[in-house]
Structures are given as C-alpha cells and as structure tokens.
C-alpha cells in the first residue's frame, strides 16, 4: 500500500490518484501535475489516501508543485481564451456542415496544446477543420471524440434515483451494458425506465448482473412450461433475487389462477422465452437497439480522458 492524493480537474468528472511527491498538501490546494496529455492544473480532493499500487497499470505520476500565482493567472487567462475558441470552433463546424457536437475546449496549462472535445454518432473527417484552427491559434490542435457518457460526466447531474450520477461520484470506467441485461433482470423495456441522463442504457444495469446470471442458471424463464404439485402450468413471472416462481395454472373448471413456488417445487418441462406481445413493444425494442448500437460505436471510437 502507498499513500496518494486524489486530484480533480476543472471541478468536473472523476478524480485521479497521484503521488504527493513529498509535498505537504491539504484538501483544496491547487497543484500542477503531468498527465498523458501534458501539464494541467487541478485541485486536491483527498490526501493521505492508502491505495494498492498493484491495482494500477503503471506507477502513479508525481505532483510537480503547488500552483503558483503565475500558474493561477495563466489558468484564468486560458479559461477566457477557451470560451473564445469554443465560439470560433462552433462557427467553423457549421461552415463545414460537420455532424458533430462541440462539448468543451481546453488549453493545457503551458498552452502547448488546445484540445476540442466533441461527440458524434459517426466517424467525422475534420482534417480541414484542424488546419483552420491551427492557423488561428498557432499551437498544437487536438480534436478528441468523447462518448456521450463522458460528456455527461463532465456536466454532472443526478440520476432517476435522486443521487449524484455514478459516473460523477465514483465510477472509474464505463462497463458495457446491454438490453439483454434489462431482460434478464425483468425490467420494463421502456426507454424512460432504463435509459440514463446521457441517453444511453444506465450503468447500474451492470451492478447486479452477475447475481442474476448465477440465479437464472437454475430458474425457468417467463413462458416456460413447468410441472407442479398442482399440475402443469406456464411461468408468468420470476422474482430472480428472491427465487420465487409465479405459475399460471387452470382449475378443474378451466379457469386461470396463479400460485407462487420455490424452484425445488417445480420441474421444468420446456423452457422458453416469451416473445414480444405487441407492436408497441417491438417499436420500443427497435429504439433501444438503436441506442445500444450507438453506444457500442462510441465505446469503440471515443477517446475519453486517460490521465
């Protein structure tokens, strides 16, 4: 275990661990650090945090120094210039009719690079745009495509649960989520229920997925034909976490009734998954599949920050 400090940049998104490098620091201190992109100014969020160095792919980068007045003045000037650059780039995007959305513009502390963050649903040929920007700002220009998830992490907000978004508070990486997960967790395939603030499938679908997968190994799917002590029936619903199976049966007069059983009380005759019930479900599924496809594209092509 080693002692580390966490640093946040621009007051947005996740914080990153750094080696304090023997410098005495306290929460709120402004510091200059070396990231993979270059020198940046950040704010100390936690100090004297014990972390397991074996969980990091490489050694923690050291804090270079506490920010000086010159550093703070330069950062303030950079932020003013970033606003101007944002307007200029947005105008150029419209001129070239590029199907992309500009999210943020950021100067590195030493002005060695000007980074333009954007989102897009497809690949964008922005070579001419880069040439124009380079001729205007006379520094190294980088256009960095980020995912919509990363965009929301930068903006911040609350989820439908009422709490701060996971990606803004503690989530380090965006694990893959899918419609299959929602199905297996018996969630309503309604976009308003399983789509997050970012317009993508909610990250929390992943949290309990392993538990559902383990339990479903010995549970029937909805629509399965099962044998019970009361006769044959069809599985109407499954409470996966409680391991309760609700079965639709018929009485002696042919009327339907429902009864709940434990897994040990039923024998699966034919396991099957229920198909979509109506055209509304099909339309909802098409929309969700479209969102899922865009999410996969972003995961493949986005360059979310790696400090």
pLDDT at 87 over 80: yes
Predicted local confidence at residue 272, as pLDDT: 78
- Which range (98-107, 160-169, 276-285) has the least confidence? 276-285
Average pLDDT, the chain: 90
**Domain covering 73-146 assigned CATH 3.30.300 in the classification:** yes
pLDDT at 295 over 90: no
Rounded Cα distance between 2 and 5, Å, is 10
pLDDT at 270 over 70: yes
Query: What pLDDT, in 10s, does the model give residues 133-144?
Result: 999 999 999 999
**Cα 206-50-57 angle, rounded to 5 deg:** 60
Rounded (10°) angle between helices 69-96 and 127-137:
140
Predicted local confidence at residue 96, as pLDDT: 95
Mean pLDDT of the region 73-90: 97
Rounded Cα distance between 91 and 87, Å, is 6
Predicted local confidence at residue 304, as pLDDT: 65
Predicted local confidence at residue 274, as pLDDT: 58
Predicted local confidence at residue 22, as pLDDT: 93
Q: Are strands 113-119 and 101-107 parallel, antiparallel or unpaired?
A: antiparallel
pLDDT at 62 over 50: yes
Query: What pLDDT, in 10s, does the model give residues 218-244?
Result: 899 889 999 999 999 999 999 999 999
Rounded Cα distance between 5 and 3, Å, is 7
Hey, where are the domains in the chain?
2-67, 73-146, 153-212+278-300, 222-270
């Amino acid at each position: 275990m080693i002692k580390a400090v966490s640093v946040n940049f621009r007051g947005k998104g996740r914080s990153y661990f750094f080696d304090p490098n023997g410098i005495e620091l306290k929460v709120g201190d402004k510091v200059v650090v070396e990231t993979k992109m270059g020198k940046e100014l950040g704010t100390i969020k936690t100090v004297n945090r014990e972390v397991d160095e074996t969980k990091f792919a490489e050694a923690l980068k050291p804090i270079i120094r506490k920010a000086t007045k010159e550093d703070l003045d330069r950062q303030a000037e950079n932020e003013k210039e970033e606003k101007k650059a944002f307007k200029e780039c947005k105008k150029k995007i419209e001129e070239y009719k590029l199907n992309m959305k500009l999210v943020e513009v950021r100067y590195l502390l030493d002005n060695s690079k000007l980074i333009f963050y954007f989102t897009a649903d497809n690949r964008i040929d922005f070579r001419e745009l880069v040439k124009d920007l380079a001729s205007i700002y006379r520094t190294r220009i980088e256009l960095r495509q980020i995912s919509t998830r990363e965009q929301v992490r930068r903006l911040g907000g609350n989820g439908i649960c009422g709490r701060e978004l996971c990606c803004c508070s503690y989530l380090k990486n965006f694990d893959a989520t899918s419609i299959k997960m929602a199905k297996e967790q018996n969630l309503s395939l309604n976009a308003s229920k399983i789509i997050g603030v970012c317009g993508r499938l909610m990250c929390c679908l992943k949290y309990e997925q392993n538990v559902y997968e383990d339990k479903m190994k010995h549970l029937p799917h909805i629509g399965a034909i099962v044998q019970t002590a009361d006769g044959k029936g069809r599985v109407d619903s499954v409470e996966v976490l409680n391991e309760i199976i609700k079965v639709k049966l018929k009485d002696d007069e042919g009327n339907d009734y429902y009864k709940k059983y434990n897994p040990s009380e039923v024998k699966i005759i034919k396991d099957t998954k229920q198909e979509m019930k109506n055209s509304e479900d099909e339309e909802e599924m098409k929309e969700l599949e479209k969102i899922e496809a865009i999410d996969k594209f972003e995961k493949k092509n986005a360059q979310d920050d790696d400090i």
